[in-house]
Amino acid sequence: MQRVAVVSYGLTKFRRSNDSLYLIAAESMRDLFKNVNGFSQDYVDAVLVSTCDNAQYTASILSEMLGIKPKIAHRIENMCNSGSNALISAYSYIASGLCDIVMVVGVEKADSPSVKLEWDLTRGQFTHPAHWAAMFSKAHMNEYGTTEEQMAMVSVKNHKNAMMNPMAYFHTKISINDVLRSKPIVKPVKLYDCSMPCDGAASLLLVSEKRVKEFTDQPVWITGIGQKTTCASFSNVKELTKMDSTILAARDAYTMAKIEPKIIDIVEVHDAFTICEILAYEDLGFVDKGKGGRFAESIDNENINVNTRGGLIGTGHPIGATGVAQAAEVVMQLQNKAGNRQIKNCKNGLVHNMSAAATSATVVTMGV
């Protein structure tokens, strides 16, 4: 089995705009072309597009727009977890020998149909994700004494990180008090505890081991992959103090990579809400169950860097693009290209992407 590397990435500014889905996606693809020395569209065997938009035939249309005539082209959707599904399909197409060079494009508009969970009749009128986030938050507060201040610290950190990311939607320094006093959404979730849907795109170029030297001397190898769908409806989420799909996906990714969480230097976690980042600290194995709130207080002194681009909360959440943009950040850090937010001596990274009240999740580990 040959190894698979991510060799480069392309990004757009995350924003709210009148630009079309196609234009935004193409912007990230052109950025990718520019980032790869001697790039040629003729190389590309597959174009996999991650989006929750209703646009049909998107992968073929974007291929035509950008002058690519791929073998494989299709659109992939699994709500907020779409981007990492596309990443893993790209891995599979290369590892199976069907392709050598695959482009992954994640794109979304702010008014994506995935913003609400209207298919889940068990939620009644509570189709906005803030409802499940509130229930997770309350459960963790009741069980482990996690506080609203600790959750606020996640938002403060991610907004602070986003200030060093020119592509982020938000560039606003906020305080714990700003979060605590922000608009109540669903108790105890307040506005600054939430990520915000926006426009944006991100692209990745994945290459087989045998072709990798043509493109970079800094390949970022995919070392571990784990995914799990436990259910789809919120009524089937039995435990609110942990995210089973993340726990199982992480276990499989660490097993495949033959690593332990303590060696991870840089991680992008799916902070759709602040409580999700606190749960992720625990469920990815960086800290014991129940200690995520206190970890949020001390994270500046820990041996791990979480959501250096600003996370979903600071960067914005263009749904189908998020998993791809998370992976792009890890690649950027591992290639030592993250500019003024570069973490020193990054060797191992992790991407955590998930959907719909943590009913499905992906964990991908990468290393140099």
Of 16, 17, 30, 55, which one interacts with a copy of itself (CB under 8 A)? 55
Question: Is residue 196 a contact residue for a copy of itself (CB under 8 A)?
Answer: no
**Which residue among 80, 99, 198, 346 is the active-site one?**
80
φ/ψ (deg, to 5) at 356: 40, 75
Q: Are 13 and 309 in contact (CB under 8 A)?
A: no
Of 34, 40, 71, 166, which one interacts with a copy of itself (CB under 8 A)? 71
φ/ψ (deg, to 5) at 15: -160, 175
Of 77, 100, 277, 329, which one interacts with a copy of itself (CB under 8 A)? 77
**Which residue among 131, 140, 317, 352 is the active-site one?**
317
Question: Is residue 178 a contact residue for a copy of itself (CB under 8 A)?
Answer: no
CA angle 116, 140, 263 (to 5 degrees): 90
d(CA 288, CA 161): 25
Question: Is residue 75 a contact residue for a copy of itself (CB under 8 A)?
Answer: yes
152 vs 361 by CB, closer to a copy of itself: 361
| Stretch touching a copy of itself by CB under 8 A, among 5-13, 167-175, 177-185, 353-361 | 353-361
**Amino acid in position 336:** N
Which strand (E) or helix (H) includes residue 62? helix 58-65
CA dihedral for 230, 232, 238, 243, sign (positive or negative): positive
**Closest by Cα among 261, 349, 360 to 5:** 349
Question: Is residue 93 a contact residue for a copy of itself (CB under 8 A)?
Answer: yes
Compose the 117-156 pattern: x for residues touching a copy of itself by CB under 8 A, - for all others: --x-------------------------------------
Cis peptide before 188 (omega within 30 of 0): yes
230 vs 308 by CB, closer to a copy of itself: 230
Residues in the interface with a copy of itself (CB under 8 A) total: 56
| Stretch touching a copy of itself by CB under 8 A, among 27-35, 197-205, 223-231, 271-279 | 223-231
Question: Is residue 72 a contact residue for a copy of itself (CB under 8 A)?
Answer: yes
Least distance from a copy of itself to the Cβ atom of residue 285, Å: 18
| Angle in degrees, 0-180, between the axes of helices 274-283 and 130-144, rounded to the nearest 10 | 50
Length of the chain: 368
Listing DSSP states for 130-148 in one string gives HHHHHHHHHHHHHHH---H
Of 37, 40, 64, 184, which one interacts with a copy of itself (CB under 8 A)? 64
Work out whether strand 305-306 and strand 189-190 pair parallel, antiparallel, or are unpaired.
Answer: unpaired
Question: Is residue 61 a contact residue for a copy of itself (CB under 8 A)?
Answer: yes
Q: Say which DSSP state 170 is in.
A: -
165 vs 362 by CB, closer to a copy of itself: 362
Which strand (E) or helix (H) includes residue 253? helix 244-257
Least distance from a copy of itself to the Cβ atom of residue 132, Å: 14
Least distance from a copy of itself to the Cβ atom of residue 271, Å: 20
Q: Are 180 and 299 in contact (CB under 8 A)?
A: no
The residues, any chain, with a CB within 8 Å of residue 239's CB and separated by 6 or more, are: none
* Residue 52: active-site member: no
Question: Is residue 359 a contact residue for a copy of itself (CB under 8 A)?
Answer: yes
d(CA 53, CA 35): 27
d(CA 313, CA 273): 7
Compose the 230-269 pattern: x for residues touching a copy of itself by CB under 8 A, - for all others: xxxx--x------------x--x-----------------
* Residue 198: active-site member: no
Question: Is residue 229 a contact residue for a copy of itself (CB under 8 A)?
Answer: yes
- For a copy of itself, the binding residues (CB under 8 A) are 1, 47, 52, 54-61, 63-64, 69-79, 81-82, 85, 88-89, 91-98, 113-114, 119, 225-233, 236, 249, 252, 355-356, 359-360
Give the active site residues: 80, 317
